[in-house]
Chains A and B, each alone.
Chain A
């Protein structure tokens, strides 16, 4: 546990000490600010259908998915690739620590940084609450959705980072994994038939976020997210272990 903690702290400070993190934070907030503005502005139009601004903010726009598609590889590509490239993996893996602990520490650090990125958006809820009534339940559910979705995407990125010593390749693998996953959510409406709809209803990311933002937390979906997150982290630790055998 101490080894996980040591890795976690080191990785977290690596984020906060790198200019990249602040760049990511900057763009993240700018784009989310724009998204929020568009959502609020369009809802203020008397001709538009009534809706909750934060409901649309979480996953209701194209920009939300675009931001995730960018920040996931940028945040995760360095995690393990850099250790493999520089060779610091050699002193790391000869310390009393297992591959699983390395992956866990690093993953928790990136997840923390991801949560840190979202924290300023709480201000949007504050702005709405100042001007109108906010239903806090759906807002909380929206954040649960953002975190569980992020947990899965970051786990996929961590896995991509563990298979190559090139950060660029890691980023490309991450994007290649994310795009079909996002598209899958978008093609949901194309399917007919009960079973197909039901399956996609559980798997589709877009509908997941839509429901969460409305305040519906479906445990089936949480289980889906947690198990896939765990699966990708498991693959990452296996990939790291496999590096030894080459």
Chain B
């Protein structure tokens, strides 16, 4: 029961496998994430490249619970160079069922066309138990495609939460072409994760 409780709590927060949390100005993004514990559908719209607003619906497969977050993401800092981009975001979400269920945190990344690194830290407030979650991720593109090509990323991700204090590390594969991004991650605790993103 204890482990299941912990896993369920973890699943209250989407993994956010480093898809860009803000689109270009006027862009919309639809994200679908599923694993053995939950299904998540997240839509966000970016009036500006500096922030996005959205709604996320989460279906908890274990307790058959369904709830939604109203989400807001703000670009705190961006550094563009000739071959790289670095970002720092503030992320937040408030449950539509009540203000005492919400989360906030920061997410950062630095990437070139070859390398990717990212991290995220979140504080989750809810009626059951508050906790903190963090992750770090590194990736490399095995080849460099041109605009419009099929892109592939090989990544490794490690994450931890304050509920069980265990680090979980696992590989992530990301495929990307046109408006569609698809990610797969696997570890022995959460088994398969799949994340589909469509930008329009």
Partners in one complex: no
